[in-house]
Structure 1
Amino acid sequence: MFRCYCILYDRCHTLSVFHRGRATYSSLAFVPKHDPVCEDEINQVRDFINSSKKTLVLTGAGISTESGIPDYRSEGVGLYARSSRRPVQYNDFVRSEAIRRRYWARNFVGWPQFSSISPNATHYAIRNLELDLNRISYVITQNVDNLHYKAGSQKVIELHGTAYRVMCLSCNFKMKRHKFQEILSEMNPGVQLRSDEMKPDGDVEIREEDMESFKVPSCFNCGGILKPDIVFFGDNVPKERVNFIKQQISTSDSLLVLGSSLSVFSGFRFILHASELGKPIAIINIGETRGDKYAQLKIEKKCGDLLPRLYC
């Protein structure tokens, strides 16, 4: 049976989600302005899902904003609206030791907060659509925050990789990000683990002197460059991952997009592929998306207000 949720809001814009007898809390400070969901919209999305045996779900940063992780592009509350800083580029990370040092210093400080963030009602609703109702073929996420796995989803493809793993650019060495945090902590005992700002990939702003003196190890296997197992801006999603997702679109009956503006081509390409195959497309996202003209159904509401109510 699909599990329902009790969702409460306090005056500080904090969300309390009661799931399986426990409460998780998250800030709604990064969720754009939106109107309440109406019953007709819930019925439309329910009918869309019910019309397919298997739906492929594509999720974006808009579903994690409800857990307190900002996205990049949301009007007024996204990172680009609040700051002139931009995420690190792949080529800059590879070419510059100073940029790598500054990146890892900020990531080190932000990791305890980023890794402690909990799934919200949308993540749990997607999990239940997959496991309890057997409606989802796969969850394709553009997010690197691991929240689908934390919620219990099993068939997840992380399009842009995961912040929870570290990789070497020269060999096949990989290690868990939690273990890497312990190593960084031992190498940098004087760096304070405190920051007031969080970015979509866990990056934060810290003191200049902490960044300049920060120590970062080389690969423990070959001495190469270590980076998060994330597809940075300017890098490419591995071809085998793209081809696998296209195959899943071909064998699914429909595509449901949740919380993504589809501004980045790495995700938008799957809208084009589904459209070429004649697959029905539905999009739930606050604000316009790059894929709106390809969708048979578009709902501009918050996913957390709609998904948990589909089968209650």
Structure 2
Amino acid sequence: MALVESERGPSAVIEATPGASDTAVSNDSGVAADGGQLDDVATLLRGRRLVVLTGAGVSTDSGIPDYRGQGAPKRNPMTFDQFLSNGDYRKRYWAGSHLGWKLFDAARPNAGHAILADMENAGIVSGVITQNVDGLHVRAGSNRVVDLHGSMDRVRCLRCGQMYARASVAEQIDSANPWITEPDAVTVNPDGDADVHNWAEFIVPACTVCRGTLKPDVVFFGEFIPKERFGEASDLLRSSEALVIAGSSLVVNSGIRLLEQARRKKLPVVIINRGVTKGDSRATIKLDAGTTETLTALAERLLP
């Protein structure tokens, strides 16, 4: 398949410059792009309806770790086939997921989430497509959000399709496992899983309708994104006039597919991410900078 050349020609990769005007530092030492760089991006995007694709980097300032950011621990996430294969895998997953979800539930939207909601309310952002499963965009006030990989606050029965609020399943888990306490040292991952040692004692929750297997309504490694959900993301992109990718390394193919869809439409593509992404050479402009800080500074230039 031939790739469409960007409207602005070869992509420009711009690195943040600490010490320049408009530079800001966050708790995780993220740095915004400098004023001149942000002015270039604002000129490119001004007057266009933006769709924003977000990844784990958007939620790190809310205390949720990143899979692939600097210093992220190596891990081997459970696949969908493993989850289905036997009860021991499901015990290990649910024990970790229960503890991890408590951190997700306690997390609060950060300034980046809030800014995207503000820009949607102002008519600048048409909607958010997120690879995150933390639900923070909705909690920040964004109205049109496509949870590309699902959301940890929902649980689905794989047999009968019954849906549950995660909070109600958490109550069921606490009742069946009164011994469970959060370990002093627990590694919580961006998918809401956590590494725990006493998972073998864990009693796995079951569907109260059919006693079938329950699974958080998230896309596991090796599992396909539901066709209708990706279609919703594609429709949102088609109704927009530019794509901004924030906090994603684009390692997951779904993000690259959306980037290529934007390129076929000859839409400007701006990537904001600290570090290399798989889409850098295909972006109109790449800002190698802190996500929260750069979104905040960019909004100051685009909001009326």
The alignment's TM-score, normalised by the length of structure 2, stands at 0.86
- Are 1:191 and 2:186 matched, yes or no? no
In structure 2, the partner of 1:39 is 35
Whole-Å Cα distance in 1 between the matches of residues 188 and 292 of structure 2? 21
> Which digits, 9 at most, give the CA deviation of each residue in 1:61-105, with x for residues without a partner?
011112111111123x22xxx23x311101100112100011111
- Are 1:67 and 2:62 matched, yes or no? yes
> What residue identity is the alignment partner of 1:86?
N
Q: Cα RMSD over matched residues?
A: 1.8
Q: How does 1:125-204 map to 2 (within 5 A)?
A: 125-131=115-121, 133-196=122-185, 197-204=187-194
Q: 1:252: how far off? A: 1.1
Report which stretch shifted further, 54-63 or 287-296.
287-296
> Which digits, 9 at most, give the CA deviation of each residue in 1:228-281, with x for residues without a partner?
000000000011111222122222111110010101102211011111121111
- Runs of 4+ more than 3 Å apart: 33-36
- Are 1:55 and 2:43 matched, yes or no? no
Q: 1:56: how far off? A: 0.8
| Unmatched segments (≥5 aa) in structure 1 | 1-6, 10-14, 16-26
Q: How does 1:268-287 map to 2 (within 5 A)?
A: 268-287=256-275
Whole-Å Cα distance in 1 between the matches of residues 125 and 24 of structure 2? 27
Q: 1:49: how far off? A: 2.5
Q: How does 1:67-146 map to 2 (within 5 A)?
A: 67-75=62-70, 77-78=71-72, 82-83=73-74, 85-131=75-121, 133-146=122-135
> What residue identity is the alignment partner of 1:223?
R
Identity %: 37
Report which stretch shifted further, 192-201 or 291-300.
192-201
Q: Is the 8 A contact 1:195 1:206 kept in 2?
A: no
Whole-Å Cα distance in 2 between the matches of residues 234 and 46 of structure 1? 38
Q: 1:194: how far off? A: 3.3
Q: 1:225: how far off? A: 0.9
> What residue identity is the alignment partner of 2:179?
G
| Unmatched segments (≥5 aa) in structure 2 | 1-22
In structure 2, the partner of 1:235 is 223
Kindly tell me: are residues 128 and 36 of structure 1, through their superposed partners in 2, closer, same or farther at Cα, counting changes over 3 Å?
Answer: closer
The alignment's TM-score, normalised by the length of structure 1, stands at 0.84
Q: 1:35: how far off? A: 4.8
Whole-Å Cα distance in 2 between the matches of residues 203 and 311 of structure 1? 33
Whole-Å Cα distance in 1 between the matches of residues 155 and 248 of structure 2? 26
Q: 1:51: how far off? A: 3.8
Q: 1:219: how far off? A: 1.3
Q: Is the 8 A contact 2:32 2:294 kept in 1?
A: no
Whole-Å Cα distance in 1 between the matches of residues 33 and 263 of structure 2? 27
Q: Is the 8 A contact 2:131 2:147 kept in 1?
A: yes
SS of the counterpart of 2:195? coil
Kindly tell me: are residues 170 and 70 of structure 1, through their superposed partners in 2, closer, same or farther at Cα, counting changes over 3 Å?
Answer: same
> What residue identity is the alignment partner of 2:276?
E
Count of equivalent residues? 277
Q: Is the 8 A contact 1:106 1:206 kept in 2?
A: yes
In structure 2, the partner of 1:310 is 298
Q: Is the 8 A contact 1:34 1:302 kept in 2?
A: yes
Q: 1:142: how far off? A: 0.3
